[in-house]
């Protein structure tokens, strides 16, 4: 099969941006402040970046807000992060409704503290009618856990006779992940210069363009988002295929 390049296959604007918000601790340390100050400033960046995504025409924004590994942090830091999340949800739902932001979550929400879980459920419900941007918060999220869950769910479907083993396809597998129904991210942004995926969306990032910036998350602003999108637009996305005479050949 041959398709034209770059227009058919290279969107100028990423439809889905995923962000690993890193560097809050370092931002605070540079100022001699407690780490939570960095998380607080980091949390205040979220609305601005949502608005930047809407302005740019991005449809999905997925933020890595709390990983399954983050439970290993000191108790007071975890409690502080949960409070920030609660505060964010309490204060920002009205703004989300004004901006047309629909909130979603991935990760084991059931294991979060009750107060946070309830606020999340309410915010998801209260923003469910919006359709300009889907903001997904990855909370208590770990990609390997998610993949194992999807494998379990498919195994159960085979066991019950609902499907045959050879009916398991990449598409069916994707649909059993917590991101089922969402397009894979086109662009992954990681702040603070780290070159790691940190157990984030391992399946979904297979063909994603990666933009790493030295900026720490609390300093990441709209211009940095525009720079990341411009970097993405300049990339030649080939999905492993070759470009010949302006066309990309993909296996039939
Ligand atoms: C990584 O910085 C950041 C986190 C583990 C948490 C991200 C959370 C927020 C931005 C605030 C709450 C989120 C929302 C959506 C309201 P780090 O602490 O690992 O930084 P370091 O590597 O410099 O120590």
In a domain, 125, yes or no: yes
In a domain, 149, yes or no: no
Query: What CATH number is attached to the domain comprising 78?
Result: 3.40.1180.10
Q: Is the CB of 22 under 6 A from ligand 1?
A: yes
In a domain, 152, yes or no: no
Structural domains counted in the chain = 1
Q: Is the CB of 21 under 6 A from ligand 1?
A: yes
Domain that holds residue 91: 2-143+184-249
Residues in a beta bridge with 66: 139
In a domain, 156, yes or no: no
Per-residue pLDDT of the chain (252 residues; tens, 9 = 90+): 444 444 455 458 999 999 999 999 999 999 999 999 999 999 999 999 999 999 999 999 999 999 999 999 999 999 999 999 999 999 999 999 999 999 999 999 999 999 999 999 999 999 999 999 999 999 999 999 999 999 999 999 999 999 999 999 999 999 999 999 999 999 999 999 999 999 999 999 999 999 999 999 999 999 999 999 999 999 988 777 766 665 655 554
In a domain, 91, yes or no: yes
In a domain, 176, yes or no: no
Question: How many whole angstroms separate alpha carbon 18 and alpha carbon 35?
Answer: 23
Closest atom, ligand 1, to C-alpha of 45: 10
Q: Is the CB of 24 under 6 A from ligand 1?
A: yes
In a domain, 103, yes or no: yes
Predicted TM-score (pTM) of this structure? 0.93
Which residues are annotated as catalytic? 22, 70
Question: How many whole angstroms separate alpha carbon 121 and alpha carbon 233?
Answer: 35
User: Quick check: helix, strand or coil at residue 225?
Assistant: helix
Q: Give how far Cα 100 sits from Cα of 27, 47, 53, 54, 131, Å.
A: 31, 12, 12, 9, 6
Q: For residue 111, give the DSSP letter.
A: G
In this structure, which residue's CA is closest to atom 24 in ligand 1? 25
């Amino acid at each position: 099969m041959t398709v034209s390049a770059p227009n058919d296959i290279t969107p100028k604007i990423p439809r889905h941006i995923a962000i690993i918000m890193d560097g809050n601790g370092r931002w605070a340390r540079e100022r001699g402040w407690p780490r939570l100050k960095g998380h607080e400033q980091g949390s205040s960046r979220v609305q601005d970046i949502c608005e930047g995504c809407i302005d740019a025409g991005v449809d999905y924004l997925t933020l890595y807000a709390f990983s399954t590994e983050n439970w290993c942090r000191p108790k007071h830091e975890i409690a502080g992060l949960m409070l920030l999340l609660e505060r964010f949800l309490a204060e920002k739902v009205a703004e989300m409704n004004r901006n047309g932001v629909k909130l979603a979550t991935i990760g084991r929400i059931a294991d979060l503290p009750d107060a946070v879980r309830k606020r999340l459920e309410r915010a998801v419900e209260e923003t469910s009618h919006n359709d300009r941007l889907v903001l997904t918060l990855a909370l208590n999220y770990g990609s390997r856990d998610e993949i194992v869950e999807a494998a379990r769910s498919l195994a159960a479907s085979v066991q019950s006779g609902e499907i045959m083993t050879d009916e398991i396809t990449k598409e069916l597998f994707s649909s059993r992940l917590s991101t089922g129904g969402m397009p894979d991210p086109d662009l992954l942004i990681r702040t603070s210069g780290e070159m790691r995926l940190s157990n984030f969306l391992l399946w979904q990032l297979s063909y994603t363009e990666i933009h790493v910036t030295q900026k720490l998350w609390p300093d990441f602003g709209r211009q940095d988002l525009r720079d990341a999108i411009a970097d993405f637009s300049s990339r030649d996305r080939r999905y492993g295929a070759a470009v010949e005479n302006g066309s990309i050949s993909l296996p039939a």
